[in-house]
Amino acid sequence: MPSWEAKPPVEVASFENGNRGDQTQRAYGAALFFLLTAVVVSITFGTVRPWSTLAGGLQGLALLVTLQVSGVRRLVLTQMMALILVAGLLATQVAWAEHPIAFMAVPLLWALVVLGTIGAIGRHLASFPQINMQSILGLLAIYVLLGLLFSWLFMLTTNLGCPFFANGSQDLGSYVYFSYVNLATVGFGDLTPQPGAPRALAVAQAILGQLYLVSVVAIAVSRLGGARQG
């Protein structure tokens, strides 16, 4: 009889944990959807400066959703929101007044916010007791964020006085487009980086992206399959 009475609390606890996991899984799916939407809008409308500001705002919304899903503290979320607002205001100055300080600050602030979001996801996923579907979605969100991070680093390179592209326009849409083409190692050839720092940065992104897929994501997916078989 004592052993029979001890079973229901364990079953109820595992059921509640499962519900929390399902909610987190759906939340990371929503974050991934917002991130992918921001990428598509940035590539589509980022070639025109007034619309590129709107595309940056959508990126900011996607980053805030991802930070919220990752369970960051309210203070950290507020600080990130402040950085996004400042970056958005400065981007307006770039679009209309072409202020030199804004040229430098905008890509730097966005890169810091994206990098902080990647760190927040990694910290959140490290707290999971085992690999599950929510872990895979979080890792895929990091992969998408790597593309955004390098797109802002490419822009920062140009604004530091070293034009990134050897051909083509230097705008947000082009940076985001090239970043994901390079991350996927497709190589269409319509945009090519300049010799020197731009090429080195592009190669570093391609290597990092491939290593991330074949190591972190692949190992996580294999462990997910093993857990299901078990």
Euclidean distance between CA atoms 167 and 157, whole angstroms: 15
**Band of residue 93 on the pLDDT scale cut at 50, 70, 90:** low
pLDDT at site 70? 92
Q: Does residue 182 carry a pLDDT above 70? A: yes
- Who wins on pLDDT, 3 or 92? 92
Contacts of 170 by beta carbon, 8 Å cutoff, 6+ apart: 155, 158, 163, 164
Return the amino acid letter for 142. Answer: I
Segment 195-216 mean pLDDT:
94
pLDDT digits (tens, 9 = 90+) for 34-91: 999 999 999 998 777 666 677 888 899 999 999 999 999 999 999 999 998 888 788 7
- Who wins on pLDDT, 117 or 101? 117
- The torsion angles phi and psi of 153, rounded to 5 degrees, stand at -65, -35
Segment 157-176 mean pLDDT:
88
Domain ranges of the chain: 2-229
Token pair, residue 39, equals: 């990428």
- The torsion angles phi and psi of 129, rounded to 5 degrees, stand at -70, -25
Share of the chain above pLDDT 70, in %: 81
**Band of residue 98 on the pLDDT scale cut at 50, 70, 90:** low
pLDDT at site 228? 53
pLDDT at site 225? 59
pLDDT at site 55? 81
Euclidean distance between CA atoms 12 and 230, whole angstroms: 21
Q: Does residue 204 carry a pLDDT above 80? A: yes
pLDDT at site 49? 67
- The torsion angles phi and psi of 163, rounded to 5 degrees, stand at -50, 130
How big is the chain, counted in residues?
230
**Band of residue 21 on the pLDDT scale cut at 50, 70, 90:** very low
SS3 label, residue 91: helix
When the pLDDT of each residue in the chain is averaged and rounded to a whole number, the result is: 82
Share of the chain above pLDDT 90, in %: 53
Segment 198-207 mean pLDDT:
96
pLDDT at site 90? 80
